[in-house]
Protein backbone atom coordinates (compact mmCIF):
# COMPACT_ATOMS: atom_id res chain seq x y z
CA UNK A 1 0.00 0.00 0.00
CA UNK A 2 1.48 3.37 -0.98
CA UNK A 3 1.66 6.41 1.29
CA UNK A 4 -1.14 8.15 -0.62
CA UNK A 5 -3.54 5.22 -0.21
CA UNK A 6 -3.83 4.98 3.58
CA UNK A 7 -7.48 5.84 3.14
CA UNK A 8 -9.72 5.06 0.19
CA UNK A 9 -12.95 6.75 -0.92
CA UNK A 10 -15.96 4.54 -0.18
CA UNK A 11 -18.27 4.30 -3.19
CA UNK A 12 -20.38 1.40 -1.90
CA UNK A 13 -23.46 3.64 -2.06
CA UNK A 14 -23.69 3.10 -5.83
CA UNK A 15 -23.08 -0.65 -6.40
CA UNK A 16 -25.40 -0.85 -9.41
CA UNK A 17 -23.77 2.10 -11.13
CA UNK A 18 -20.34 0.70 -10.31
CA UNK A 19 -21.22 -2.58 -11.99
CA UNK A 20 -22.49 -0.68 -15.05
CA UNK A 21 -19.32 1.43 -15.17
CA UNK A 22 -17.17 -1.70 -15.09
CA UNK A 23 -19.14 -3.05 -18.04
CA UNK A 24 -18.62 0.22 -19.93
CA UNK A 25 -14.91 0.17 -19.15
CA UNK A 26 -14.58 -3.30 -20.66
CA UNK A 27 -16.62 -2.28 -23.70
CA UNK A 28 -15.15 1.12 -24.53
CA UNK A 29 -11.75 1.08 -22.82
CA UNK A 30 -9.77 4.18 -21.73
CA UNK A 31 -11.46 6.54 -24.19
CA UNK A 32 -14.50 6.74 -21.88
CA UNK A 33 -14.49 8.30 -18.40
CA UNK A 34 -17.57 7.98 -16.18
CA UNK A 35 -17.93 9.93 -12.95
CA UNK A 36 -20.68 9.80 -10.32
CA UNK A 37 -21.39 13.10 -8.58
CA UNK A 38 -23.42 14.61 -5.76
CA UNK A 39 -24.27 17.65 -7.87
CA UNK A 40 -27.88 18.70 -7.37
CA UNK A 41 -27.88 21.31 -10.14
CA UNK A 42 -26.34 19.41 -13.06
CA UNK A 43 -27.70 15.87 -12.99
CA UNK A 44 -26.03 14.70 -16.20
CA UNK A 45 -23.39 16.08 -18.57
CA UNK A 46 -21.61 14.66 -21.60
CA UNK A 47 -18.39 16.08 -23.00
CA UNK A 48 -16.26 15.15 -25.98
CA UNK A 49 -12.60 15.87 -25.27
CA UNK A 50 -9.65 16.05 -27.71
CA UNK A 51 -8.42 12.64 -28.77
CA UNK A 52 -11.95 11.18 -29.01
CA UNK A 53 -12.26 10.96 -25.21
CA UNK A 54 -15.80 11.00 -23.81
CA UNK A 55 -16.51 12.20 -20.25
CA UNK A 56 -19.89 11.38 -18.74
CA UNK A 57 -20.92 12.77 -15.34
CA UNK A 58 -24.13 11.56 -13.76
CA UNK A 59 -25.72 12.22 -10.39
CA UNK A 60 -25.72 9.32 -7.96
CA UNK A 61 -29.51 9.37 -8.07
CA UNK A 62 -29.16 7.36 -11.30
CA UNK A 63 -28.44 4.39 -9.03
CA UNK A 64 -32.19 3.71 -9.02
CA UNK A 65 -32.75 4.48 -12.72
CA UNK A 66 -34.69 1.95 -14.84
CA UNK A 67 -32.60 -0.46 -16.90
CA UNK A 68 -33.79 1.34 -20.04
CA UNK A 69 -32.10 4.56 -18.86
CA UNK A 70 -28.79 2.77 -18.32
CA UNK A 71 -29.16 1.41 -21.85
CA UNK A 72 -29.67 4.98 -23.08
CA UNK A 73 -26.52 6.07 -21.23
CA UNK A 74 -24.67 3.28 -23.00
CA UNK A 75 -25.94 4.60 -26.34
CA UNK A 76 -24.64 8.06 -25.42
CA UNK A 77 -21.18 6.65 -24.79
CA UNK A 78 -21.36 4.93 -28.16
CA UNK A 79 -21.99 8.29 -29.82
CA UNK A 80 -25.71 7.84 -30.43
CA UNK A 81 -27.05 11.00 -28.79
CA UNK A 82 -30.48 11.80 -30.35
CA UNK A 83 -33.50 10.27 -28.61
CA UNK A 84 -31.33 8.61 -25.93
CA UNK A 85 -30.17 12.02 -24.70
CA UNK A 86 -33.78 13.28 -24.57
CA UNK A 87 -34.87 10.31 -22.46
CA UNK A 88 -31.90 10.61 -20.10
CA UNK A 89 -32.52 14.33 -19.56
CA UNK A 90 -36.22 13.67 -18.94
CA UNK A 91 -35.33 11.13 -16.26
CA UNK A 92 -32.75 13.51 -14.72
CA UNK A 93 -35.51 16.08 -14.22
CA UNK A 94 -37.34 13.62 -11.97
CA UNK A 95 -34.44 13.46 -9.49
CA UNK A 96 -34.77 15.61 -6.33
CA UNK A 97 -32.96 18.93 -6.37
CA UNK A 98 -33.93 20.23 -2.93
CA UNK A 99 -31.97 19.86 0.26
CA UNK A 100 -28.38 20.68 1.23
CA UNK A 101 -25.46 19.65 -0.99
CA UNK A 102 -24.12 16.18 -0.29
CA UNK A 103 -20.51 17.34 -0.24
CA UNK A 104 -18.89 20.41 1.24
CA UNK A 105 -16.59 21.04 -1.71
CA UNK A 106 -17.77 23.27 -4.53
CA UNK A 107 -16.15 23.54 -7.99
CA UNK A 108 -15.08 27.14 -7.37
CA UNK A 109 -13.38 26.48 -4.04
CA UNK A 110 -10.25 24.75 -5.31
CA UNK A 111 -7.09 26.26 -3.82
CA UNK A 112 -4.18 25.43 -6.07
CA UNK A 113 -1.53 28.08 -5.33
CA UNK A 114 0.38 27.51 -2.12
CA UNK A 115 3.27 29.32 -0.48
CA UNK A 116 5.80 27.15 -2.32
CA UNK A 117 4.04 25.06 -5.00
CA UNK A 118 1.34 25.71 -7.58
CA UNK A 119 -0.68 22.50 -7.82
CA UNK A 120 -2.48 23.57 -10.99
CA UNK A 121 0.84 23.97 -12.76
CA UNK A 122 1.94 20.50 -11.64
CA UNK A 123 -1.42 18.96 -12.59
CA UNK A 124 -1.24 20.40 -16.10
CA UNK A 125 2.34 19.15 -16.51
CA UNK A 126 1.45 15.61 -15.51
CA UNK A 127 -1.78 15.58 -17.49
CA UNK A 128 0.10 16.70 -20.58
CA UNK A 129 3.13 14.42 -20.18
CA UNK A 130 1.35 11.20 -19.25
CA UNK A 131 -2.34 11.53 -20.20
CA UNK A 132 -2.30 13.66 -23.38
CA UNK A 133 -4.17 16.40 -21.45
CA UNK A 134 -7.31 14.26 -21.66
CA UNK A 135 -8.25 14.15 -17.96
CA UNK A 136 -10.73 16.80 -16.71
CA UNK A 137 -9.67 16.16 -13.09
CA UNK A 138 -9.31 19.16 -10.76
CA UNK A 139 -6.90 19.61 -7.84
CA UNK A 140 -6.75 21.48 -4.55
CA UNK A 141 -4.75 21.76 -1.37
CA UNK A 142 -6.57 20.10 1.51
CA UNK A 143 -7.77 22.04 4.53
CA UNK A 144 -5.38 22.68 7.39
CA UNK A 145 -6.70 21.19 10.61
CA UNK A 146 -5.98 22.92 13.93
CA UNK A 147 -3.57 21.12 16.21
CA UNK A 148 -5.04 19.39 19.26
CA UNK A 149 -2.97 20.14 22.32
CA UNK A 150 -2.86 17.61 25.07
CA UNK A 151 -3.38 14.68 22.73
CA UNK A 152 -0.90 12.31 21.20
CA UNK A 153 -0.04 13.13 17.61
CA UNK A 154 -1.61 10.78 15.13
CA UNK A 155 0.57 8.60 12.94
CA UNK A 156 -2.11 8.69 10.28
CA UNK A 157 -1.32 10.99 7.37
CA UNK A 158 -2.80 10.93 3.88
CA UNK A 159 -0.56 12.72 1.40
CA UNK A 160 -3.05 12.58 -1.45
CA UNK A 161 -6.47 11.30 -2.44
CA UNK A 162 -8.80 11.23 -5.42
CA UNK A 163 -12.47 11.98 -4.78
CA UNK A 164 -14.32 10.02 -7.42
CA UNK A 165 -17.66 11.79 -6.94
CA UNK A 166 -16.06 15.17 -7.69
CA UNK A 167 -13.16 14.00 -9.87
CA UNK A 168 -10.98 16.02 -7.51
CA UNK A 169 -7.44 15.40 -6.25
CA UNK A 170 -6.60 16.67 -2.77
CA UNK A 171 -3.01 17.14 -1.60
CA UNK A 172 -2.13 17.43 2.07
CA UNK A 173 -1.14 21.05 2.91
CA UNK A 174 1.91 19.90 4.88
CA UNK A 175 3.57 19.18 1.52
CA UNK A 176 3.57 22.88 0.63
CA UNK A 177 7.03 23.12 2.14
CA UNK A 178 10.41 24.07 0.58
CA UNK A 179 11.91 20.86 2.02
CA UNK A 180 9.59 18.75 -0.15
CA UNK A 181 11.10 17.91 -3.56
CA UNK A 182 8.93 19.14 -6.43
CA UNK A 183 9.47 15.80 -8.14
CA UNK A 184 7.73 14.07 -5.25
CA UNK A 185 4.65 16.23 -5.76
CA UNK A 186 4.74 15.38 -9.45
CA UNK A 187 4.89 11.70 -8.53
CA UNK A 188 2.01 12.07 -6.05
CA UNK A 189 -0.20 13.93 -8.55
CA UNK A 190 0.60 11.30 -11.19
CA UNK A 191 -0.43 8.55 -8.77
CA UNK A 192 -3.79 10.20 -8.06
CA UNK A 193 -4.43 10.87 -11.75
CA UNK A 194 -3.84 7.17 -12.39
CA UNK A 195 -6.83 6.56 -10.11
CA UNK A 196 -8.89 8.95 -12.25
CA UNK A 197 -7.72 7.37 -15.50
CA UNK A 198 -8.13 3.78 -14.26
CA UNK A 199 -10.92 3.83 -11.63
CA UNK A 200 -11.52 0.91 -9.27
CA UNK A 201 -12.98 -2.23 -10.81
CA UNK A 202 -15.85 -3.91 -9.01
CA UNK A 203 -15.96 -7.66 -9.41
CA UNK A 204 -19.47 -9.15 -9.39
CA UNK A 205 -18.31 -11.95 -7.07
CA UNK A 206 -15.96 -10.00 -4.83
CA UNK A 207 -14.71 -6.63 -3.53
CA UNK A 208 -13.61 -3.89 -5.87
CA UNK A 209 -9.98 -3.77 -6.96
CA UNK A 210 -8.28 -0.39 -6.55
CA UNK A 211 -4.74 -1.20 -7.66
CA UNK A 212 -5.62 -3.53 -10.49
CA UNK A 213 -3.30 -4.51 -13.34
CA UNK A 214 -4.22 -1.59 -15.62
CA UNK A 215 -3.69 0.89 -12.79
CA UNK A 216 -0.27 -0.55 -11.91
CA UNK A 217 0.84 -0.52 -15.55
CA UNK A 218 -0.09 3.15 -15.84
CA UNK A 219 1.52 4.05 -12.52
CA UNK A 220 4.79 2.34 -13.53
CA UNK A 221 5.25 4.85 -16.35
CA UNK A 222 6.46 7.49 -13.89
CA UNK A 223 10.29 7.63 -13.85
CA UNK A 224 12.09 6.72 -10.62
CA UNK A 225 8.90 5.34 -9.14
CA UNK A 226 10.69 3.31 -6.43
CA UNK A 227 12.87 6.26 -5.44
CA UNK A 228 9.82 8.49 -4.99
CA UNK A 229 8.23 5.84 -2.75
CA UNK A 230 11.32 6.01 -0.54
CA UNK A 231 11.16 9.82 -0.48
CA UNK A 232 7.52 9.57 0.56
CA UNK A 233 8.36 7.32 3.51
CA UNK A 234 11.01 9.77 4.75
CA UNK A 235 8.63 12.70 4.42
CA UNK A 236 5.94 10.75 6.26
CA UNK A 237 8.28 10.11 9.20
CA UNK A 238 9.45 13.72 9.24
CA UNK A 239 6.00 15.32 9.07
CA UNK A 240 4.29 13.04 11.59
CA UNK A 241 7.20 13.59 13.98
CA UNK A 242 6.80 17.38 13.74
CA UNK A 243 2.99 17.44 14.03
- The residues spanned by each domain of the chain are 15-92, 104-242
Q: What is the mean pLDDT of residues 170-181?
A: 94
Q: What is the pLDDT of residue 71?
A: 93
With pLDDT > 70 as the criterion, what percentage of the chain qualifies?
Answer: 81
Q: Which of 22-31, 99-108, 168-177, 204-213 has the lowest mean pLDDT?
A: 99-108
Better-predicted residue by pLDDT, 139 or 43:
139
Read out DSSP for the chain? --GGGSS----TT-HHHHHHHHHHHHHHGGGEEEEEE--SS--EEEEEETTTEEEEEEEGGGGG--HHHHHHHHHHHTT--HHHHHHHHHHHTTS---S--SSS--GGG---B-SS-BHHHHHHHHHHHHHTT----EEEEPPPPPP-TTSPPPS----EEEETTTTEEEE-GGG-STTS-HHHHHHHHHHHHHHHHS--EE-TTS-EESS-HHHHHHHTTSTTHHHHHHHHHHHHHHHHHH-
Q: What is the pLDDT of residue 206?
A: 61
Q: Which of 94-103, 160-169, 176-185, 232-241 has the lowest mean pLDDT?
A: 94-103
Domain 104-242, classified CATH 3.30.1960.10, yes or no: no
Better-predicted residue by pLDDT, 71 or 5:
71
The mean of the pLDDT values for the chain is 81
**Model pTM greater than 0.75?**
no
Q: How confident is the model at residue 158 (pLDDT cuts 50, 70, 90)?
A: confident
Q: What is the pLDDT of residue 99?
A: 39
Does the structure show a pLDDT above 60 at 160?
Answer: yes
Q: What is the pLDDT of residue 41?
A: 65
Q: What is the pLDDT of residues 34-45, one digit of tens each?
A: 988 877 667 888
Amino acid sequence: MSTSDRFQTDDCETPRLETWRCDMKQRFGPRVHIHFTNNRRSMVSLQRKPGRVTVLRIQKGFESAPAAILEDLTLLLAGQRGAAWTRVCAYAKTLPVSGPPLHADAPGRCITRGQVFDLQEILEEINREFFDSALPTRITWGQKKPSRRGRRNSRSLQFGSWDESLDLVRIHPSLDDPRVPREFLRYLVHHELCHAARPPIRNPDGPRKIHHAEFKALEARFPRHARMEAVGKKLFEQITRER
